[in-house]
Structure 1
Amino acid sequence: MGYGPLNSTRRQATLQRKRKEYLDWRTQTFGRGEDALDRQLWHQIRIDVPRTQPGCAEFHEERLQRSLERVLYCWAARHPASGYVQGINDLVTTFYRVFMQEGPSVDFEVVEADSFWCLTKLLDGIQDNYTHAQPGIQRQIVRMKELVARIDRDLAAHLDAHGVEFIQFAFRWMNCLLMRELSLDCVVRVWDTYLAEGGGAQGFSAFHTYVCAAFLLRWSRELRAMDFQEIMVFLQRPPTAAWTDRDVELLLSEAYVIKCLYDGSPSHLR
């Protein structure tokens, strides 16, 4: 994520300094008690955290939920231009999953601090996804619709004929980076590729748009046999529960082909 320096001789000192910076900020933020917090922001975070990763028992442990609340509040307090947006609670869990797999002796304070800084690095690269009106997401949805129309005209025509707007299903795909459609382990695999594609706007925005297009096109035959209600139900809960790395790698390969064919092509249809 670019949080730890590439120079290994500076890495440990940098991590220690950044971890202390977060813990100091956390102490300053919460040291005066919950009454001193932004009530609206804190209320929304406390509502969303229990809903986070409903299929993963580890994220419903008391200690971990309190940790997620602190990270989300501290991030939002430091970034008032965007503030907290629903969906950010999903994104941070990917970092917790990776760091908590380092072994039974893992330092939970370190996990929390590192997750905070990695979340910060992630959102710094796609900040316009979470500012007012979320223009970054709006652009991604327009681009995805254009791609689908060029690649699979029959599917695009079917969706249009049944009044299905891309924003009705693709907004969540962009806002949460498909985290509600794929298992957390599959998401870790997807993010690995996003980082290889350059991270930030290149991986988590541009390449993610190709992944979402490939994800929709994967179900083209099934979707073309459905009406509006069936399409919306299907896309809200696609059959990915049993997906493995093999399925994800196929999806990423299809997305890469789309990128190679259409990257840099005009963003409007002629």
Structure 2
Amino acid sequence: MQFSIRRPKLPSSETHPEENMYKKLDVSTWLNHLNESGQVEEEYKLRKAIFFGGIDVSIRGEVWPFLLRYYSHESTSEEREALRAQKRREYSEIQQKRLSMTPEEQREFWRHVQFTVDKDVVRTDRSNQFFRGEDNPNVESMRRILLNYAVYNPTIGYSQGMSDLVAPILAEVLDESDTFWCFVGLMQNTIFVSSPRDEDMEKQLLYLRELLRLTHLRFYQHLVSLGEDGLQMLFCHRWILLCFKREFPDAEALRMWEACWAHYQQKEK
């Protein structure tokens, strides 16, 4: 069972004053934000448009790397190509480091990382045509990204659920190295919890409890009346860990991701 977004008609006094002012970012509008050198102009206006209107599926693979901090908005097309080449070399070095582990290191890595990754990737987004079928090279690409990320960031390593976060990026960006660095940006900048570690999850639940207390006092009081179990809010853990990806249809979940990634309320410096 999945949720679905329903937008009731509200009086203008209860909606954001700029609601319905922005259409979905399409190819034409996106190109209008790029100058002759390929730099993004009016970045804040662009982020606001993405927040309110979303991004056309046809250009997600081009726009997402900006939202995920892989590309700088000030970078030129030429600079981005140079960056891609540099990052491709860095990614290759990370992979080579993984493949050059000693037998003992390989055993430890398999026990703590690879065993879980291998189980997860074969059951992630298999209904998506991009990952469907036996011996799908895109599944192997996702596997390498996650294994290499665990080498790149051993502090976080791999936690169940990360495959759900990287799969949509790979399906849109379509390049293994670029997807890896977009995923790095996601893990560094996401507003959601990036691991199921108790202290991380508890911090997020603390924020959620306070939001409930301020915005839905009756429901908060109901949870309090249930005792400690109610305030643990176990029903929310997957929502937070996977950024609602399994709670909503893909199109709606990714639309919410884009709105969060836009960070439009962060004013221009």
Could you state the TM-score of these two structures normalised by the residue count of structure 1? 0.61
For residue 254 of structure 2, what is the amino acid of its counterpart?
V
Q: Cα distance 1:33–1:55, how it changes in 2: closer, same or farther (>3 A)?
A: farther
In 2: Cα distance, 1:127 partner to 1:134 partner: 17
Give the alignment partner of residue 172 of structure 2, picking from 92, 98, 117.
98
For these two proteins, the number of residue pairs brought into alignment is 190
Match of 1:10 in 2: 79
Please state which structure has a larger fraction of its residues in helix.
Answer: 1
Structure 2 residue runs without a partner (length 5+): 1-67
Residue 117 of structure 1, CA deviation? 0.5
In 2: Cα distance, 1:126 partner to 1:92 partner: 13
Does 53-62 or 149-158 show the bigger shift?
A: 53-62
Match of 1:250 in 2: none
Q: Cα distance 1:39–1:173, how it changes in 2: closer, same or farther (>3 A)?
A: same
Q: Cα distance 1:68–1:172, how it changes in 2: closer, same or farther (>3 A)?
A: same
Match of 2:110 in 1: 39
Aligned residues of 2:169 and 2:179 also touching (Cα < 8 A): yes
Structure 1 residue runs without a partner (length 5+): 101-110, 203-270
For residue 138 of structure 1, what is the amino acid of its counterpart?
E
Does 76-85 or 119-128 show the bigger shift?
A: 119-128
In 2: Cα distance, 1:55 partner to 1:175 partner: 21
Q: Does 1:89 align with 2:160?
A: no
Aligned residues of 1:129 and 1:135 also touching (Cα < 8 A): no
What is the 5 A alignment of 1:13-32? 13-30=82-99
Q: Which segments of structure 1 move beyond 4 Å, counting only runs of 4 or more?
A: 31-36
Could you state the TM-score of these two structures normalised by the residue count of structure 2? 0.61
Q: Cα distance 1:152–1:5, how it changes in 2: closer, same or farther (>3 A)?
A: closer
Aligned residues of 2:121 and 2:139 also touching (Cα < 8 A): yes
Match of 1:51 in 2: 123
Q: What's the secondary structure of 1:164's corresponding residue?
A: helix
Q: Cα distance 1:127–1:24, how it changes in 2: closer, same or farther (>3 A)?
A: farther
What is the 5 A alignment of 1:1-270? 1-6=68-73, 7-8=75-76, 9-30=78-99, 37=106, 38-40=109-111, 41-61=113-133, 62-100=136-174, 111-126=175-190, 129-130=193-194, 133-162=197-226, 163-197=229-263
Residue 58 of structure 1, CA deviation? 2.7
Q: What's the secondary structure of 2:236's corresponding residue?
A: helix
Q: What's the secondary structure of 1:45's corresponding residue?
A: helix
